[in-house]
């Protein structure tokens, strides 16, 4: 005899909500209203490269201030 899983309404609702979000995201990307994941990652990489020196300098300054109050 096959074993049946207990029906979990909350799990089903979560799965349906996740599927609906995926569909909305795909629609927004297709319509050009939301960038693709690759474009977002590229933008993050660009920003990190642009501000890397400033970020490192700020971290160093903060570290120095902690050591020499």
Residue 13 vs residues 20, 25, 63, 66, 69: alpha-carbon distances, Å = 10, 18, 47, 49, 54
pLDDT at 63 over 90: no
Task: Write the pLDDT tens digit of every residue in 10-31.
Answer: 989 999 999 999 999 889 988 9
In angstroms, what is the C-alpha Rg of the chain?
Answer: 23
State the pTM of this model. 0.46
- pLDDT score at 66: 85
Structural domain boundaries in the chain:
10-67
pLDDT tens digits for range 42-55? 999 999 999 999 99
Question: CB–CB of 36/29 below 8 Å?
Answer: yes
């Amino acid at each position: 005899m096959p074993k049946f899983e207990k029906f979990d309404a909350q799990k089903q609702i979560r799965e349906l909500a996740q599927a609906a979000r995926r569909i909305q995201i795909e629609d927004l990307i297709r319509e050009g209203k939301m960038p693709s994941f690759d474009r977002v990652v590229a933008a993050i990489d660009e920003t990190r490269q642009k501000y890397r020196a400033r970020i490192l300098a700020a971290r160093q300054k903060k570290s120095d201030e902690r050591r020499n109050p």
